[in-house]
Chain A
Amino acid sequence: MKIMRRTALMSLPFGLAACGSGGSSTVSSRPAASLSPAATPEPKELVILAASSLTDAFTEMADDFPRRPEGAGLKLTLSFGASSQLRVQLEQGAPADIFESADDAQMQLAVRAGLMQVTPTVFARNRLVVVLPRENRAGLATLSDLAKPGVKLVTTARDVPVGNYTHQTLAKMAADPQYGIGFDQKVLANVVSEEANVRQIVTKVQLGEADAGFVYASEISPRVAPDVRTIEIPERLQAAAEHVMGVTRTARAPVTARRLIDYVLGPVGQATLKRHGFITLA
């Protein structure tokens, strides 16, 4: 239920071209191949574990990357879930070339467990908003209203990045004179469910089951927007939400994986992320 798999199949025209051109010319056309420590060809498939907040952006990039010279002929398999869940899957030996986490905490756990190669890279940032159902039956107008008794708030467990950021923002609010000490506890007392990941929060709010939830601004996609309203969170109360990615220790195609990360960090990848509501690096 929670994990979606999408596969971007290589486009047919390129497949034919690769057959015609033969092995030697493809190698010479790739500058990145010189970085390869060994001449052994890597598998033409990349398995990517990515936070569910990246579902739309990465699905689009997985579609686009194989059409570019640096990703030509690749098959990308994506598996989405809460970063914490994906990290556990990785620990339990899930085969993956790239792990993408929506917070540094889960990535650091993976790094400390020896699951990652080199240092993972920040490739986008995010901010939180409060999402409400369109009809807003609970009558929420400001952030202070979230502490009103009876408001049905959904979040995730604290290990899930969005839950982690929610707690950070609430702590900042409690330290802010406008909201006051104990504000975080009052809001947390309204939590009625800890969903599996950020997407599930959005769904519960979209359906009108929940009155409110803290989610990434990037979640308010054109698909979701007609069903919801949002309350903005001022900059001083924001947690520093960062999306981090890196090549796993067990990657079967580490060089290709690095090329995909470069693509995500490059102009095309960053433009895609920006279009999906992420805050890009530049």
Chain B
Amino acid sequence: MRALGPAAVLAASLVVLLLAVPLVALVWRTLESGALAQGAGSAVVLQALQLSLATSFGSLALALLLGTPLAFGLARFSFPGRGVIEALVEVPVVLPPAVAGIALLMAFGRRGLMGAPLAELGISVAFTPWAVVLAQCFVAVPFYVRAARTGFAGVDRDLEGAARVDGATPLGVFRHVTAPLAFPSLLAGAVLCWARALGEFGATIMFAGSFRGRTQTMPLAIYAALESDLGAALALSTALVIISVLTLALVRYVARGWEAQAIIGREDARG
């Protein structure tokens, strides 16, 4: 490999610095101020952590449950309106979260398109953890569906055909052939979806409001704490950094294990 020129090295270093310095500064300030230990005993921090984990995993569960059939359908079938649905799945990915927040208010707010009839029935999601999950799902589910669709599209149809010839039911084929082969994509999509849900801020604060233990997730608690308790904001931020890094590490580890297994499997099949 030829050496990079000095200009290219400088450019690359700047990017690395830009990415590293804020994280280092955040963690350093947190550790230096002892905010992490203090935060671990703070009700605001713990409530936000608990709520964030509950809602983000709830959103992920919904994404897997409802998003998988959609992704499979988009990957395998051609039907009228498919293009529209594909576009719909893309939109939240590029939509600013604030726009998502207003859109959700107009849809599910008390005077909203869906919200008004629901309110008549005595159902009101605003200011409840359900509103948080709804906001998270709106912005995060597309990340899973996109990745899963790509994964399903990449599975060799002949393998599925062979399994069916051997007598597997369609669900059995999906469980034992399609899903395992698409697993790296499904996992990547699920992680992105969960991370996006965990970090959701704009749509949540506009649509769900901010109340401790009910709708104030970690990003909202950071925002609120910045004005009153910088220590809590630092502790929450560092906790999110740690969670993010651990998640990335876990995904890499699992994906690598899966790859290794797949290679062994292929060699077994050949051998």
List the interface of chain A (C-beta within 8 A of B): 1, 82, 84-85, 87-88, 137, 152, 154, 157-160, 191-196, 204, 207-210
Contact = CB atoms under 8 A, between A and B. Distances in A.
A88 B232 CA distance: 14
B109 A209 contact: yes
Given A1-B205, A84-B228, 9 more contacts: A88-B227, A88-B230, A192-B127, A192-B214, A194-B210, A207-B105, A207-B109, A209-B110, A209-B126
A91 B111 CA distance: 40
A192 B110 contact: no
B92 interface: no
Chain A interface main SS type: loop
Contacts of B206: 1
B58 interface: no
Given A152-B127, A192-B211, A207 B111 contact: yes
A90 B226 CA distance: 12
28 contacts: A1-B98, A1-B205, A85-B227, A87-B227, A88-B226, A88-B230, A137-B110, A152-B127, A157-B227, A157-B228, A158-B228, A160-B227, A191-B211, A192-B209, A192-B211, A192-B214, A193-B210, A193-B215, A194-B209, A194-B211, A194-B216, A196-B223, A204-B209, A207-B111, A208-B110, A208-B111, A209-B110, A209-B126
B202 interface: yes
B227 A209 contact: no
B80 to A, nearest CB: 36
Contact of B224 (A194, A204, A207): A194
Contact of A157 (B98, B208, B224): B224
Interface string B83-121: 000000000000000100000010001110000000000
A156 B129 CA distance: 19
A197 to B, nearest CB: 10
B109 A208 contact: yes
Among A152, A193, A210, chain B packs the most CB atoms within 10 A around the CB of A193
B211 A193 contact: yes
Interface in B177-226: 202, 205-206, 208-212, 214-216, 223-224, 226
Contact of B210 (A87, A195, A207): A195
- What's the interface size class on B, roughly? 20 to 34
Contact of A195 (B110, B209, B227): B209
Nearest to A86: B227
A82 B214 CA distance: 22
B221 to A, nearest CB: 11
Contact of B228 (A159, A192, A193, A210): A159
Contacts of B216: 194
A191 B213 CA distance: 12
Contact of B105 (A152, A158, A209): A209
The 3 closest A-B pairs by CB, nearest first: A193-B209, A192-B127, A84-B227
Contacts of B209: 154, 192-195, 204, 209
Given A207-B109, A209-B109, A196 B205 contact: yes
B55 to A, nearest CB: 16
Nearest to A160: B227
A208 B205 CA distance: 16
A1 B224 contact: no
Contacts of B105: 207, 209
Nearest to A154: B209
B72 to A, nearest CB: 37
B163 to A, nearest CB: 51
B42 to A, nearest CB: 15
Nearest to A91: B230
A196 B202 CA distance: 12
Contacts of B212: 194
Contacts of A204: 209
B22 to A, nearest CB: 14
A187 to B, nearest CB: 15
A271 to B, nearest CB: 32
A154 B205 CA distance: 13
Contacts of B111: 207-208
Contacts of B230: 88
Contacts of B224: 157, 194
B144 to A, nearest CB: 26
Contacts of A192: 126-127, 209, 211, 214
